[in-house]
Amino acid sequence: MEAVRCSVDCWADFGELLSGRVVHTGTEVLLTTGTSDLLVFSGQEKRVKSILQFDSPVTSLAVSDKNRLYALCQSHGLYCTSFPQECSSQSVSAQKCDSSVSTISRDSIVIEDGKMQAFILVEGILVIVSLQESFWSFDLYKVPNCSTGATVYRKHASVHVSQNTVGARIGSAPVLASVYPSKDSLSKGRTCQGHYLLEPLLFRLLFGVDAALVHSPVILCGLPDGRLFFFPLLFPSWGEQKPRIRMLHSLEQPVTFMGTSVIGEQGPQCLVIVGQMGRILLIRASQTSSDGKAADCGFIEQTVRGPVVCACVNGEHLFYSTSTTLLALPLSKTATSSAFSSLTAAEGERESIRQEKPALLSQSAVCLSVSRVIALAEPSVTPTGHVQLLLLSHSGRLLQVTLPQESDKDSVSRLTSSKVGQTVKDLLAGIGNVWERATSVKLQLQLKNNVLKHLNQVINICSLFLTYQKSSQEGKDCKPPISCHGVAKWSTLLQKEALVLTCTLENLSAYVLDQGWTLCIEVQSPYSLTAEGTSKTYSFALKKLDCGQKMEVNLPLESRGEEFVPVKIQCFLVYSLQSLLHKEECRNFSASEIPVSHFLEDKSCISLTLNTLTLDWLDCLRIGQPASHSEIPKQNSVWEATCIFLSSRRIHTEEQPMPKPDHHVVAIRISFDLLKTVLSFRDCSSAVLCVSVLNWLLFGMFETGGQKFVESAVVCAHGPDRQPVRLLAKEVILSDVNSEGPLSVVEVQVQSSSMAAVFGLHHAVLRRVQSLLKDAPMKCANPGQLKGQRLCEAVRHAESLYKDLQDSQSSAAFGGVMKTRTSESLFDLYLQLRENPLVIL
């Protein structure tokens, strides 16, 4: 394929475009960029003069001879507005006025029809093509005369053509053109885009004698299925009867362009039809008679490499753009190198010609060295004879391309050495520019591929969590794909003991947790639901966690006596969508007026809940022998501290300090059958079962690092308040509970001189038993019948304690010593409730 170097002048750059349209009207250019904006570009000033904003994207446009602009918008209809006026040359040179922006309201719609596909304005008549349910409709409207005050567009005629979905391409629109008969077609030229002149004899042979006699323009329409239809516009008495529409040919592929061309210096004109897949149809008169006059017309079908995005014709050349480059095809070689299919030939000959495969003409095309063209305007010829093309590229640049003449090509060999050197420099500079653009495009593609890869991994991880949650709801036993386990242990930080929580994130999925993922751990204090409570969130960014790997993080828990337990710990895995952006893109966003949060507002991250843990008194025990009094400093109670403060101020009180008993005991009784069934301790003795129950209470719910399993039924430890505590598990035989005989139970006792330790440990044991009872109805059989006498005694005992509680509350209004006695009585009631506890069956 021959290549020609053209002169390219960039007028403007509008950024990346997916579609567009260019119409050249005098010194101004109308541009559509696939959006709802219509740009009016001044060719002399090389700038956008005005912007017309519509409600929906503009698909087609036309300018009338009365300075009116028609624009077809998607899903709305046809707009009509006045053409923007030019700025005067004085004002332009003086102040360089900026682009004016005009919003076109819905009041400018002259024909409202959401099914309109294309339109053309010919001789004061609007021809509109719309797609109905099963047919194509051609509607003719008379443009009202503005001088008389008429504004209503009335339909005068309408013709229909059945729809053919075979060969039609989704998204393609019909192509309309008007063809005029002219006695001097070579000199008059064309009026504007979409309107063409044709030799009268060829016009008569194609469209009939009647249209030629009245000099009626013919509307030519190429449908998306490849069929070509035509009908005369100014047919006699067409207001009384429908104009007759006829089929001219079938291209068997969507039509991209229709126009006329001149073949040879003095030869007849030719009708040119171009399809989207590269098929070209040439229709011209054939010279068959001896006197040189045209006897009939013939059809020539050829093929070029497609797809054809846009095309235009000038003289003997067809300019068309593929998805990669802009090409020029000489039509004179095409017409002379192929045989004609005569309209007067026999049917058998016509069938044989149509069945032949069209010849490939890509070798005859000339590359113009301009790539990715999406829209072409009608070519123009300069006074020096050079052909100029105005085009719009996919990169959004408006270019003017000047083609060299034949004499310019012949003079290349006679260039001087200096001009040759300059030409080589220009070529090298062009190569460098292309390499830079290619490198930038390659980098952008690589960045987009990385973003899609990371986003695909995020979606897959979310899908794994959804599958795990669904399986858990159905009762299936399965491991989570990503889990977080907690370990609590005491440590010395800055000569102060503190409880440190170690969380281990384990990745059991087949995906990598890389940059963008963050492990968030929220710690809620016991009073976090009230105004006094606090809640802190710790975030740990992940660098790279492969399949099967673990990551440990440590965070200290603030301890203020016994008030910091129980603590609720929630673990989340969060992915920030902002991490998908490249650093340069983030920098560009930060430098712009619009922040990144504007694009990612309320959707900036994806949060996946891992685990919810609860840290209570049993998890905070320091198991071992009670320390001596020299190691642990003596701590005064609140009452003792108050008395010491009052004594220091020489304020004497008659009240005595609250007596402190040696130790307090609470007990929880659980039946042997429940423990053996739920905890799977079926074949073990009572002594082994007691030790196993203590191990289950201490290590079964929350892992405590650095601790060994206990081997005795008695455990001595220190609580968070540094007070010694004692846990005891033993077997107890109850004879007055079950009507079927004695009942064996395990009694867990909590002993301590600290009331806070007794309350906290008792609550922790009950919480574990409650979680145990959730699975008990599914695993345990029905318990035996209880004795009614024992239940009655328990009720009477509870009623007496309730009465004592009411008496204590009524005496709470007294101050001084009475308040101390009230506290003692309430604590005694609490101990009595747990001296004879009910059995958990």
- Do 266 and 301 lie in one domain? The reply is yes
**Predicted local distance difference test score (pLDDT) of residue 568:** 85
CATH number of residue 570's parent domain:
2.60.40
**Which residues, at least 6 apart from 133, have a Cβ–Cβ distance to it below 8 Å?**
none
Same domain, residue pair 596 and 657 = no
Report yes or no on 235 lying in a domain. Answer: yes
Residues 203 and 346 in one domain: yes
| Spatial CA neighbour of 220 closest among 127, 315, 286 | 127
Same domain, 673 and 627: yes
The pLDDT tens digits of the residues spanning 45-56 come to 889 999 999 999
Q: Say whether pLDDT at 473 is over 50.
A: yes
Q: Do 607 and 714 fall into the same domain? A: no
Give residues with Cβ within 8 angstroms of 25, minimum separation 6.
63, 192
Task: Select the highest-mean-pLDDT range: 293-297, 523-527, 755-759.
Answer: 755-759
- Give pLDDT, residue 533: 56
Check residue 695 and give its pLDDT.
84
The mean per-residue pLDDT over the stretch 690-695 comes to: 85
Q: What is the C-alpha separation between 743 and 576, in angstroms, rounded? A: 58
| H helix or E strand, kind and range, residue 499 | strand 497-507
Residues 600 and 669 in one domain: no
The winner for highest mean pLDDT among 145-154, 537-546, 771-780 is: 537-546
Provide the pLDDT for residue 242. 65
Same domain assignment for residues 532 and 559: yes
Tell me: the pLDDT tens digits for 573-608?
A: 998 887 777 655 555 444 444 444 444 444 578 888
pLDDT of residue 154: 87
Is the same domain home to 567 and 627? no
Above pLDDT 70, what percent of the chain? 70
428-437's contacts with Cβ under 8 Å and 24+ in sequence apart are none
pLDDT of 291 > 80? The answer is: no
Q: Which of 241, 325, 231, 317 is nearest to 274 (CA)?
A: 317
Which percentage of the chain shows pLDDT scores above 90? 16
Q: Tell me the residue range of the domain where 511 lies.
A: 482-615
pLDDT category at 70 given cuts 50, 70, 90 is very high
Asked whether the CA dihedral 657, 663, 669, 670 is positive or negative, the reply is positive
Alpha helices in 172-261 (DSSP H): 185-188, 200-207, 209-213
Average pLDDT, the chain: 76
Instruction: Evaluate whether 504 touches 487 at the Cβ level (below 8 Å).
Output: yes
The total number of structural domains that make up the chain: 3
Residue 455's pLDDT band, with cuts at 50, 70 and 90, is confident
pLDDT band at residue 165 using 50, 70 and 90 as cut-offs: confident
Angstrom distance (rounded) from CA 381 to CA 371: 22
pLDDT band at residue 831 using 50, 70 and 90 as cut-offs: low
The whole-number pLDDT of residue 536 equals 84
Q: Which of 82-86, 260-264, 726-730 has the lowest mean pLDDT?
A: 82-86
Residues 317-363 pLDDT 10s: 899 998 788 999 988 766 555 544 433 333 333 333 343 445 555 56
Tokens of 258: 């229709």
Per-residue pLDDT, 605:
82
- Domain contains 16: no
Where is the domain boundary, 615, 647, 674?
Answer: 615
pLDDT surpasses 80 at 500: yes
Residue 39 inside a domain? The answer is no
Confidence band, pLDDT 50/70/90 cuts, at residue 813: low
Q: What is the pLDDT of residues 415-432, one digit of tens each?
A: 566 777 777 877 887 787
Residue 823 falls within a domain, yes or no?
Answer: no
**Is there a contact between 327 and 319 (Cβ–Cβ < 8 Å)?**
yes
Mean pLDDT, rounded, for 482-487: 86
Residue 204: inside a domain: yes
* Domain end residue (candidates: 615, 636, 661): 615
- Same structural domain for residues 503 and 556? yes
pLDDT band at 58 (very low <50, low <70, confident <90, very high): very high
Residue 801 located in a structural domain? no
Specify whether 584 is located in the same domain as 656.
Answer: no
- Tell whether 445 is covered by a domain: no
535 and 573 co-located in one domain: yes
What φ, ψ does residue 776 adopt, rounded to 5°? -65, -45
pTM beyond 0.85: the answer is no
Domain final residue pick, 768, 784, 800: 784
Note whether 625 and 605 are same-domain residues.
Answer: no
Task: Summarize pLDDT for 642-679 with one digit per residue, the tens.
Answer: 565 565 554 555 544 444 555 778 888 888 878 877 77
> For the CA atoms of 62, 64, 67, 72, what is the dihedral angle to 10 degrees?
-30
Instruction: Answer whether residue 663 is part of any domain.
Output: yes
